[in-house]
C-alpha cells in the first residue's frame, strides 16, 4: 500500500545485549533511546491523523530472547500507552515470509531471512493474492549476522579446527532445515526447468551483501538505488572473494555501513554453507520487506494482495480515459498468440504506463523526458513496494519515450537511459520504446487525458515483407495468419491508425504528425536500440474525412485517395 511516512532508528537490540562479549540485559540507556524514538513516532502519527488503535508495535527475536524482556516491554507500554506484541518464534518466520511476498508481484521458490540473531528458511508460492508456504511456517536457526559474527570471532580466537567445526555445524543444520520445511515437488522441480529455482532473501545481513553485489554489477554505475527487486545470478551470489575484495577496497559502497561491512565475513560463512546445503539455485532476489511489511500484508484482503504494485502506485495519477488508453496500447501489439512480445512486458505494466502517461503534463518541456525517466527510481513512482528492477526500468523507458525519448535528454540523463537499456536488454527496451511512442501519439491527440467521443482506433498485425524490386517504392505486405508462416518469415508488423471521420483537422497538427512518424521511425534498423533488436514497422494512417489513406511525407502532408 502507498506509504505516507517512514522512519528508522539505528539501534540494534542484539548488539546492545552483547556489547561486552557476553549476553547482558538491554541497557537502560538503550531502552530510553527506544522510548524516545517511539514517543516521537507517536507524535508523528497524531499529526497524520493515525489513531492509537491503528498502531502495532511488533517485537521479534532480540526482544524475545532478552534477559530483561518483560521489563523492557513494560517500560515502552508505560511511556507510550502502546502494548508491545511479541511474535512467537514460529510466527516470526511466517510474518517475515509474508514481508517477502509483499516485495514481489509473484513469488515461487525458497526464501531466507537473515536478522541479527537468527536466520529463517521456508518455501513460498504467491500468485493471484494467494500464498502457500511450509506448514512449519519457517525453520529458525541461531545464525543471524550479528550472532554469526560473534561465533566466528570466537572460533578464530580459539583457532585450530574451530572454524571448520562451525562451518560443518551450520551446513548440517541448514540441510536438516531444508528437510524439515518439506519442499513441494512443484518447487523442487524448478531446479531442472529452464527458469531454474529462485532464492528470495530478506534481512539486513543479506541486504548488505546485495548492495555489495550491486556495486559490482556489469551495468555501472548501477541505475536503481533500491535493494528491493534487485536480482543476481548464483555465480555472482556465491562469489565470496569478489564481495570480500569489494568491501576491503576502502571504497565507499552505497548503503554498506561500517556495521554491515564488519558482518561480511560472517555472511560469507553462511553463504558458503548455503552452497553446500541448498538445492541448485538459478537466481537470487533481494527483498526489502520484513516483519513490518509482512504484518501489514497479512492483514490485507486477497483482492488487494492480487493487485500489481505498479498498477496500484500509478492509480492516483490516472487520467479520466486511462482505461481507454490502456486498451489502445494493447491493440498496438501485433496479434498472434505464438509470437507476441517479451513475457516481462505484461498487461499490468502497460496498464501502469497508461495510468502514468500524464503525470508530467505540467512540467516544462525541457525536463519532462528526464523527470519521466527517473520517476520509478527517485521520482513520483519511486516509493512503489513490490516492483522488481526490470519493472521499474521498463516503465521508466516507456514514460521517457512518451515525452520525447533520448533526443529530449541532457547528456547526463542520456547515460542513465543507456544504463536502463543495458539492464533490461535491447529486445525488451525496443518494445518499451515502441509502446512509449504509441503513448506519445495518444498524448498529442488527447493532451488532457480525455478521449473524445469519436476516438482514434489503433490496430496491428504481423506481416510478411515482399520487396517489389523498385527503388523508392513501398514494400508490398501480406498479413500473416498462421504461426507456421510467422516463424518462417522476417518479423515485421503493420500498425494501422484510423483517425475516423471527425478528426481531419487533428491529422494536420504538427505535433500529431510528428508523433505518428516517430512510430514508423522506430521500425527503421538504424534507429533500433543498440542496433541489435527491433522490428520493421509498416505504418498505415487512415482518415475517412480526408478521403482515405494518409501518406505522411517529411516535406508536408499528402493524401492518397482510395
In degrees and rounded to multiples of 5, residue 479 shows phi and psi of -70, 135
Return the axis-axis angle of helices 411-424 and 426-445, rounded to nearest 10°.
120
Alpha carbon distances (Å) from 344 to 41, 245, 340: 40, 34, 11
**Share of residues in the chain with pLDDT > 70 (%):** 89
Task: Give the Cα separation of 91 and 101 in Å (integer).
Answer: 15
Domain ranges of the chain: 13-86, 90-297, 309-561
Rg (CA), the chain: 28
- Same fold? 13-86, 90-297: yes
| Beta-carbon-side half-sphere exposure of residue 55 (alpha carbons within 13 Å) | 20
Three-state DSSP at 174 gives helix
Contact 468, 475 (CB under 8 A): yes
**pLDDT tens digits along 279-294:** 999 999 999 998 999 9
Residue in the block written with cell 498472434: 336
Q: What gap in Å lies between CA 536 and CA 413, rounded to an integer?
A: 27
557 has pLDDT over 50 = no
Contact 182, 282 (CB under 8 A): no
pLDDT of residue 527: 85
How crowded is the C-beta side of 383, counted as CA atoms within 13 Å? 10
pLDDT tens digits for range 435-464: 999 999 999 999 999 997 667 899 998 887
Cis check: omega of the bond before 442, within 30 degrees of 0 = no
Phi, psi of 373 (to 5 degrees): -60, -40
Whether residue 466 is predicted with pLDDT greater than 90 in this model: the reply is: no
Rounded Cα–Cα distance for residues 557 and 362 (Å):
30
For Cα atoms 266, 263, 276, give the angle at the middle one, nearest 5 degrees: 25
Cβ–Cβ under 8 Å, residues 411 and 326: no
Percent of the chain with pLDDT over 90: 72
Contacts of 427 (CB under 8 A, 6+ apart): 342, 532, 533
Predicted pLDDT at 397: 98
Question: What number is the average pLDDT over the span 201-206?
Answer: 94
Architecture field, domain 309-561: Orthogonal Bundle (1.10)
What whole-number distance in Å separates Cα of residue 257 and Cα of residue 248? 13
Across 540-551, average pLDDT = 69
Task: For 506-526, write each residue's pLDDT tens digit.
Answer: 777 889 989 999 999 999 888
pLDDT band at 366; cut points 50, 70, 90: very high
**Residues pairing with 460 in the sheet:** 495
Residues 300-337: b if buried by 16+ CB within 10 A, e if exposed: eeeeebebbbbbbbbeebbbebbebbbebbbbbbbebe
Q: With contact defined as beta carbons under 8 Å apart, do 483 and 339 qualify? A: yes
What pLDDT, on the 0 to 100 scale, is given for residue 339? Answer: 55
Angle at the Cα of 190 from the Cα atoms of 186 and 196, rounded to 5 degrees: 155
Residue for grid cell 512510430: 519
> What pLDDT is recorded for position 294?
93
Please tell me the distance from the alpha carbon of residue 546 to that of residue 453, in angstroms, as a whole number: 19
pLDDT reading at 559 higher than 50: no
Overall average pLDDT of the 255-275 stretch: 94
- Point out the least confidently predicted range of 34-38, 41-45, 417-421, 448-452: 448-452
Q: What is the pLDDT of residue 430?
A: 95
Question: C-alpha grid cell for residue 137?
Answer: 511456517
Please name the CATH architecture into which domain 13-86 falls.
Answer: 2-Layer Sandwich (3.30)
CA–CA dist 372, 416 (Å, integer):
12
pLDDT at 555: 40
Q: Distance from first CA to last CA of the chain, Å, rounded?
A: 53
Region 350-364 average pLDDT: 97
Mean pLDDT of all residues belonging to the chain: 89
**Environment class of 216 (CB within 10 Å of its CB; exposed 0-12, middle 13-18, buried 19+):** middle
Q: 3-state DSSP call for residue 197?
A: coil
106-138 per-position pLDDT tens digit: 999 999 999 888 899 999 999 988 999 999 888
Q: What is the pLDDT of residues 401-441, one digit of tens each?
A: 999 999 999 999 999 999 999 999 999 999 999 999 999 99
| Domain range 90-297, its CATH number among 1.10.3720.10, 3.30.390.50, 3.30.420.150, 3.40.50.10440 | 3.30.420.150
* pLDDT at 468 > cutoff 90: no
- As given in the structure block, the three cell numbers for residue 471 are 527503388
d(CA 358, CA 348): 17
Amino acid at each position: 500500500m502507498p506509504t505516507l511516512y517512514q522512519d528508522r532508528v539505528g539501534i540494534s537490540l542484539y548488539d546492545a545485549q552483547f556489547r561486552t562479549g557476553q549476553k547482558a540485559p538491554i541497557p537502560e540507556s538503550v531502552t530510553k533511546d527506544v522510548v524516545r524514538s517511539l514517543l516521537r513516532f507517536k507524535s508523528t502519527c497524531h499529526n497524520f491523523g493515525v489513531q492509537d488503535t491503528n498502531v502495532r508495535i511488533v517485537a521479534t527475536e532480540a526482544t524475545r530472547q532478552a534477559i530483561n524482556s518483560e521489563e523492557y516491554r513494560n517500560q515502552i507500554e508505560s511511556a507510550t500507552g502502546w502494548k508491545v506484541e511479541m511474535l512467537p518464534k514460529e510466527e516470526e518466520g511466517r510474518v517475515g515470509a509474508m514481508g517477502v511476498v509483499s516485495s514481489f508481484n509473484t513469488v515461487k521458490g525458497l526464501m531466507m531471512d537473515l536478522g541479527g540473531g537468527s536466520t529463517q528458511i521456508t518455501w513460498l508460492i504467491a500468485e493471484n493474492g494467494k500464498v502457500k508456504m511450509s506448514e512449519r511456517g519457517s525453520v529458525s536457526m541461531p545464525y543471524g549476522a550479528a550472532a554469526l559474527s560473534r561465533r566466528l570471532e570466537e572460533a578464530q580466537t580459539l583457532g585450530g579446527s574451530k572454524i571448520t567445526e562451525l562451518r560443518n555445524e551450520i551446513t548440517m543444520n541448514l540441510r536438516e532445515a531444508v528437510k524439515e520445511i518439506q519442499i513441494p515437488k512443484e518447487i523442487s522441480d524448478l531446479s531442472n526447468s529452464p527458469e531454474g529455482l529462485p532464492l528470495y532473501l530478506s534481512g539486513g545481513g543479506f541486504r548488505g551483501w546485495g548492495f555489495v553485489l550491486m556495486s559490482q554489477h556489469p551495468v555501472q554505475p548501477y541505475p536503481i538505488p533500491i535493494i528491493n527487486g534487485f536480482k543476481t545470478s548464483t555465480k555472482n551470489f556465491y562469489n565470496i572473494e569478489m564481495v570480500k575484495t569489494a568491501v576491503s577496497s576502502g571504497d565507499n559502497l552505497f548503503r554498506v555501513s561500517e556495521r554491515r561491512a564488519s558482518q561480511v565475513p560472517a555472511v560469507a560463512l553462511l553463504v558458503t554453507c548455503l552452497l553446500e546445503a541448498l538445492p541448485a539455485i538459478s537466481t537470487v532476489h533481494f527483498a526489502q520487506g520484513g516483519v513490518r511489511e509482512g504484518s501489514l500484508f497479512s492483514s490485507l484482503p486477497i483482492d488487494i494482495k492480487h493487485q500489481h504494485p505498479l498498477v496500484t502506485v500509478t492509480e492516483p495519477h490516472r487520467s479520466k480515459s486511462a482505461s481507454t488508453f490502456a486498451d489502445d496500447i494493447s491493440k498496438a501489439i501485433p496479434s498472434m498468440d505464438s509470437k507476441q512480445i517479451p513475457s516481462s512486458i505484461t498487461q499490468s505494466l502497460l496498464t501502469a504506463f497508461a495510468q502514468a502517461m500524464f503525470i508530467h503534463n505540467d512540467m516544462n518541456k525541457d525536463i519532462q523526458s528526464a523527470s519521466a525517466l527517473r520517476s520509478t527510481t527517485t521520482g513520483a513512482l519511486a516509493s512503489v513496494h513490490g516492483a522488481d528492477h526490470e519493472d521499474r526500468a521498463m516503465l521508466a523507458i516507456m514514460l521517457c519515450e512518451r515525452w520525447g525519448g533520448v533526443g529530449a535528454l541532457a547528456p547526463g540523463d542520456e547515460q542513465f537511459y543507456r544504463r536502463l537499456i543495458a539492464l533490461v536488454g535491447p529486445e525488451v527496451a525496443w518494445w518499451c520504446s515502441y509502446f512509449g511512442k504509441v503513448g506519445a501519439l495518444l498524448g498529442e491527440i488527447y493532451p488532457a487525458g480525455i478521449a473524445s467521443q469519436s476516438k482514434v482506433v489503433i490496430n496491428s498485425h504481423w506481416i510478411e515483407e515482399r520487396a517489389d524490386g523498385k527503388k523508392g517504392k513501398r514494400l508490398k505486405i501480406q498479413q500473416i495468419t498462421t504461426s507456421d508462416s510467422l516463424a518462417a518469415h522476417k518479423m515485421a508488423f503493420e500498425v494501422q491508425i484510423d483517425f475516423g471521420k471527425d478528426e481531419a483537422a487533428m491529422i494536420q497538427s504538427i505535433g500529431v504528425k510528428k508523433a505518428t512518424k516517430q512510430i514508423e521511425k522506430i521500425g527503421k534498423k538504424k534507429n533500433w536500440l543498440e542496433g541489435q533488436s527491433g522490428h520493421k514497422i509498416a505504418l498505415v494512417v487512415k482518415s475517412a474525412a480526408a478521403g482515405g489513406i494518409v501518406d505522411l511525407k517529411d516535406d508536408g502532408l499528402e493524401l492518397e485517395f482510395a
